[in-house]
Amino acid sequence: MRFLCLHGIGTSSQLLKMQTSALRYEFGDQHTYEFVQGTMPWRMAPELSAISKEEEPHYAYFDPENATGYLTAYNQLESFIAAEGPFDGVFGFSQGAGLAIIYMARKLIETPKAPPPFRCAILFSPTAVGDPFRWFETGEMRELEALPGAATISTPAAFIWGSKDESAPRFEALFETFDSNTSWKYVFEGGHEIPNPTITGSMGEAIKVARRAVTQAQRGLRQ
């Protein structure tokens, strides 16, 4: 499968490659990855202090305090997918995972009969997940709590986050916006980070739920 990869706020595509290298190795060489960098310079994310330096370039896809920024990032993502896609799946961390959810949610509601933009999603600690319907239409800033009409995103998805992440309760609520029949979660003993070999047991379990999402997507293709 070909994955679109979206990094976290205050990081970069290069850092996401480093953060996911072990996971991608275990995931298998049958997949390819396209890393897309944000265009907005941003201060370094605090959790990167061990692998990056403040003076190195870090980016965001949008300013989470600016409603207009969400619309710009959404349009930029749509333009990139139109030019460089299609992509079988999306692989996102933090703000990148949040942007992926916003994109999938809005596509579902605006074009419910169209094929979803991705066949599967692997989402790590999604943050800054705004309500695209309220923000894009009225400018009111509000977190996504539920989709209009009690709709759920049916794209097979793996949700993975650390139990010590301060946003963990928020991740649980976002998980509920996905169809329970085609989504899986794994909570590991960590913070706002991606499972890695230093966190005992996190790699194997993360790969398991990610593979479930991929397998479900592949089954859908065969039907």
Task: Give kind and range of the element (H or E) at residue 153.
Answer: none
Task: Give kind and range of the element (H or E) at residue 188.
Answer: strand 183-188
From the list 58, 165, 183, 202, the catalytic residue is 165
DSSP labels for 106-129?
HHHHHSTTSPPS-SEEEEES----
List the end-to-end C-alpha distance of the chain, in Å, as a whole number: 17
Which tokens hold the place of 17?
Answer: 């490659």
Is 165 assigned a catalytic role?
yes
Q: Are 96 and 61 in contact (CB under 8 A)?
A: yes
Q: Are 156 and 182 in contact (CB under 8 A)?
A: yes
One-letter amino acid at 134 equals R
What is the rounded CA–CA span in Å between residue 20 and residue 164? 20
From the list 94, 125, 183, 202, the catalytic residue is 94
Is 167 assigned a catalytic role?
no
SS3 per residue for 189-209: CCCCCCCCCCCCCHHHHHHHH
Task: Give kind and range of the element (H or E) at residue 161.
Answer: strand 157-162
Which of the residues are catalytic? 94, 165, 192
